[in-house]
Amino acid sequence: MSIIYEPSGAAREYSPYACNLYIGCSHGCQYCYAPRVLQRRNEDFFGTPSPRRDVLRLLEKDLKAKTYDKQIMLSFIGDLYCDTADGGKTSRAALEILNAYKAPVAVLSKGGEKMLRDVDVFQAFGGRIAVGTTLTFMDEDKSRQWEPGATLPKERLEALKELKNAGIKTFVSFEPVLEISESLKLIERTLHDDSVVYYKIGKLNNFRGLDKGMDWQGFLRNALEMIRPAKKELYIKKSLRELAPDIELFADETDHERYIVRAT
């Protein structure tokens, strides 16, 4: 059994490889696609997950069998830094194994300060790692409503800033975009405190029809007007590009390979 796999569909834009150390999540995000993909009820998916059986042994087996020169995303199913049954011991051990095999890694989390417990391991990767967070709401009440178990936006942003100050490449993912005005406020905030190296921006996809009435072209135009002058790296996801065909984008803003961490 291989624990490292190649994502398909829209997930492939984020990473050529991925690994899910836990199946489940304590964050309980309303828009989460994982229960549907895994054909599980919400009550069976959301909770305090345990590590997958033999996950560290299987991870090392994969790394011995193949050299990975492009990033492995942690993770697409659940959150590496949610409340886990082992207190994150498996996450840290997996990162140490990945680093020992010189594998490039990307971490995407809403865990806030929990991410900082592994800052020393992140630093050991050097240029072979990028650590990011998903940003959805500036408004804390809305964040609690939509992502009841995740950390609040302020904590995510503060953790990201500490990571960047520690010399780690940081990124933010604006997907899903649940309220355009909230996402634009968060972009402004991250530009103001200089906590982000690069941005990945998408939209809201097929959730209760909420995406149908949104001005995606206006959103993209405003986001570009904010981010470009700051000379930040930026990737616009295909789903958003398709709904804003009149907006001209630069080649590096549509090339997802440019933002993939590679072996050094």
26-38: pLDDT as tens digits: 999 999 999 988 9
Structure tokens at 230: 């700051």
The residue-averaged pLDDT of 210-224 equals 93
Per CATH, domain 4-259 is 3.40.50.300: no
- The answer to whether the beta carbons of residues 143 and 97 sit under 8 Å apart is no
The full set of domain ranges for the chain reads 4-259
pLDDT (tens digit per residue) in 71-127:
999 989 999 999 999 999 999 999 999 999 999 999 999 999 999 999 999 999 999
Helices (H), the chain: 34-38, 42-45, 55-65, 89-100, 119-125, 140-146, 153-165, 180-193, 216-227, 238-241
Cis peptide before 176 (omega within 30 of 0): yes
- CA-to-CA distance for 111 and 114, rounded, in angstroms? 5
Residue with the bigger pLDDT between 66 and 37: it is 66
Q: What is the pLDDT of residues 168-189, one digit of tens each?
A: 999 999 999 999 999 999 999 9
Burial class (CB in 10 A: 0-12, 13-18, 19+), 221: middle
